[in-house]
Amino acid sequence: MRHRHLNSDDLTDPAVVEDILERGSTADWRRLASAIRADPWGRVAQALERILPHCDCTGTPILWQDWLRDVRAGYRT
C-alpha cells in the first residue's frame, strides 16, 4: 500500500503501521501480520505497540493487541 501522506512504506515506521490499520486493505493487514509473525518482538511489532494506545480505529487496537499477545505467547514455546 502506498500511503497518501507518507513517503515510506517501512513497517517499522509507526505512522505507516497506523495508516495500514486505518486505511489498509486485508492484503496490507496480512503483510503487517506476516512481518510481526516472523519476529514478534522485533521493530515492526514494536511500532504496532507504540501506535495501539493512540489509534483512532474502532475496535482495531483491541484486536491487534490480543493478536500480538497470542503470537508472542506461541513464539516463546
Domain boundaries, the chain: 14-76
- DSSP-derived 3-state class of residue 61: helix
What was the pLDDT predicted at 48? 97
Closest to 45 in 3D by CA, of 8, 27, 70: 70
What was the pLDDT predicted at 46? 97
- The model's pTM: 0.83
What was the pLDDT predicted at 35? 97
DSSP 32: H
In the predicted model, residues of the chain with pLDDT beneath 50 are 77
Alpha helices in the chain (DSSP H): 14-23, 26-38, 43-51, 60-76
What was the pLDDT predicted at 2? 54
**pLDDT above 70 coverage of the chain, percent:** 86
**The dihedral formed by the CA atoms of 55, 18, 67 and 24, expressed in degrees to the nearest 10:** 120
